[in-house]
Structure 1
């Protein structure tokens, strides 16, 4: 319900209204709290996949710290492109941008075990993919016919399924600890469980800021728990703070630039999915906050901001940016449509990104604590995909499309060795799981005849739908 003490109902629905700094700054920071953990987590996951250490004594401390710093800085910059706009770039709406989870299945294979050497190709893909993403803005509205809930729901579900393994590995002790006696210990799991329990308790038994910031508060409680049980020492925290600079500017092409076919194709293909997600978020903001449909200019401008914000981030070592759906829900809940409120949040993010000490503290969060938050977040991604799939009419045609796409995509992801004889570019793209699943779903949805839509699902489901033989015969005659 909207808070009328902030403004009249008409003012609250106006993106150009600003309630003043005294109210605008807290509301803006509230948006940052809702997305903060999700925004920095991809940087930590990519760093872990590349082999960067995560302990207080890690020699890779500067690299991990820099990636976290860039995630915050360029999420703020991309958000400013949306709220303030730059020519046709930006929707002039309260859209919060952040690092996208969707690209993780592409990024992880590109850097796996390669350390800093894998980052040049990754950021080359981010830059080219961002430019292509911006180009999509010129025709994104015409693509929606090829992406019904069957396709988008499958893609979102696959994103979550591709990442849930990461959450379990983190909760058990992290990838470097696999095979060691402490991996999967009760102590490791206890930290993750504390985060999950606190997050769920706040999410479902509180309201307002406590509920909105449930994951963040859960991580803070888990952090304190880790200190109390000796998983993290105060010396490690103070040392990390002391070793981090008070202020630092981003460095262009810090990790170089490499044109990798696998990276470019992967990021360009995922740009389609991210663009459609942004269209949905823009529509959700205008419907939930202003009670109207999004205009073509708003959709185009938002997609431009997605793409150019991503390309700019890639130049300085940041990851792909996209609109954050959790903040769409926050606008609907508060009823405050002001883009200038989100601008306040963007400035706060930029300040955090320019102060490495903030990233230094984030970096001391034990991997097991982060695992608890990641399990919740990635599980919610899967749940969001399943929710989208609930809008699908499950006839035989759609079940076949879903079954083949999911089986092949998930299967290749689980057993990458099955493609060991393919060239590296094809192997990286196909073993992501997400791209082959999305490609198959889109193509099959376009080419399979609609005549199948009214036929029974019984032949495919083998009786699992709950119909007996008699009902199958009746359905077949219909």
Structure 2
């Protein structure tokens, strides 16, 4: 509910209104708490997939710290582009940007087991994909016809399904521990379960700040539990803190520049998905916070900021940025539409990103504890996709499109060996599962005649008739 003590109803709906500082700053930090864990998690996942050592004495320690640091810094920079704007870049709305989960199914195969050497091609792909993403802003409004809930819901569901395996692996002990006796031990699972139970308890039995920060607080409780049961020592924490510097600036092209067809194609194709996600978030903010539809200028500016923020991030070793949906819900809940509130949150992120000691503390979170949070977050991604699919008219045409796209996309993801004879570029793109599913769904939705919706195709659906929007079958239904 809106807090009327912050301003009048008219002021709360005005993006240009600034509440008093003693209220605006806590509201801004609240936005950061809502997205903080989700923002740094992709950096840890990509580092783990690349084979980085997670110990404080590992030679990869500084690289992991840097990736976490850049995730915070450039989430703040991209958010400032949205709230303050530069010319046509930015929506001048309270849009919070952060590292996108959507690109993980592309990034993980690109870096799998290749260590730091894989990052040059990855970040080159981020830069070029970001530039392409900004270009999409010139015509993003015209793309919406090709991306109904059937397509977008499928893609979001596939993103979550591609990542839930990561959560289970982390909760069991992490990828490096697979095959060892301690992998999947009760101790490992207990840490993950503590996080999940605390998160659920706070989410459903508390209100306000506690509910909004449920995942973050769950991780903190899991962190304390890990120390209590001996999974993490105080010496490891102090060692990480002491090894991290107090202040550090980002380095342009730290990992070099390397052209990779798989990376460039993958990031450019995923830019379409990210752009549509941003369109939905902008619409959600204006509806939830101001009770109106988003303007074409706002949607275009938001997409420009998405792309340029991503391209700049890639130059300094940060991952693609996108608008964060959880903050859309926060605006609807608080009723505060002020973009300047989010600006304070962006400044907080930038300051944290310039202090590597913050990343040093984050790095000490045991992988099992992080696994509990990841299971919740990626499960919510799947749930969000299913929620979008609830708007689909489930006639037989749409069932066939969904079935084929999901079967091929998920199947290739589960059995990557089926593509072992494909060229490297094609294999990386296809085994993500996400891109083939999205392309198949988009193409079939555009080319299949809608007349199929009324035809009896029991031989395809196995006798299971589809019914739109969860409705019950009528007696005269075929």
Report TM bin, short chain: over 0.9
Q: Could you tell me whether the CA contact under 8 Å between 1:456 and 1:475 is conserved in 2? A: no
Give the TM-score taking structure 2 as reference length.
0.97
Instruction: Find the aligned partners of 1:475 and 1:455 in 2 and give their Cα distance.
Output: 11
2:98 match: secondary structure? strand
The separation in 1 between residues aligned to 2:265 and 2:313, in whole angstroms, is 18
Matched residue, 2:360: 360
User: Equivalents in 1 of 2:59, 2:187: separation in Å?
Assistant: 25
Partner residue in 1 for 2:168: 168
Counterpart of 1:55 in 2: which secondary structure? coil
Are 2:148 and 1:151 aligned? no
What is the TM-score normalised by the length of structure 1?
A: 0.97
Which residue of structure 1 lines up, in the alignment, with residue 14 of structure 2?
14
Partner SS for 2:322: strand
Matched, 1:287 2:266: no
Q: Give the equivalent residue in structure 1 for 2:470.
A: none
Q: Secondary structure of 2:393's partner?
A: coil
Rounded Cα–Cα distance in structure 1 between residues aligned with 2:3 and 2:457: 48
User: How many correspondences in the alignment?
Assistant: 473
Which moves more between the two structures, 39-48 or 19-28?
Answer: 19-28
**1:40 to 2:40 alignment:** yes
CA deviations over 1:412-437 (Å, ceiling 9, x no partner): 11111111111100001011100000
Q: Which position in structure 2 is the counterpart of 1:70?
A: 70
Q: Give the gaps of 5 or more residues in structure 2.
A: 468-472
Report deviation, 1:461: 2.9
Are positions 1:302 and 2:291 aligned together? Answer: no
Gaps of 5+ in 1: none
Query: How far is 1:474 from its partner?
Result: 4.7
Alignment of 1:196-235 (within 5 A): 196-235=196-235
Work out whether 1:109 is the aligned partner of 2:119.
Answer: no
1: CA distance, partners of 2:348 / 2:476: 62
Please give the secondary structure, in 2, of the residue aligned with 1:79. helix
The 5 A counterparts of 1:69-88 are 69-88=69-88
Is the Cα–Cα contact under 8 Å of residues 54 and 367 in structure 1 kept in the other structure?
Answer: no
**Distance in 1 separating the partners of 2:281 and 2:74:** 19
The SS at the match of 1:98 is strand
Report if aligned partners of 2:46, 2:108 keep a CA contact under 8 Å in 1. yes
Per-residue CA deviations over 1:186-229 (Å, capped at 9, x if unaligned) read 00000000000000000000000000000000000000000000
Contact 1:248–1:355 (CA<8 Å) still a contact in 2? yes
Q: Is the 8 A contact 1:73 1:352 kept in 2?
A: yes
Q: Give the conservation status (yes or no) of the 8 Å contact 1:94–1:339.
A: yes
SS at 1:155 equivalent: helix
Would the aligned equivalents of 2:79 and 2:97 in 1 still touch at CA under 8 Å?
Answer: yes
Contact in 1 for aligned 2:262/2:428 (Cα 8 Å)? yes
What's 2:437 paired with? 437
- When residues 466 and 157 of structure 1 are mapped into structure 2, their CA distance, relative to the original with a 3 A threshold, is closer
SS in 2 for 1:322: strand
State whether residues 399 and 460 of structure 1, in contact with CA within 8 Å, keep that contact through their aligned partners in structure 2. Answer: no
- The structural deviation recorded for 1:465 is 4.6
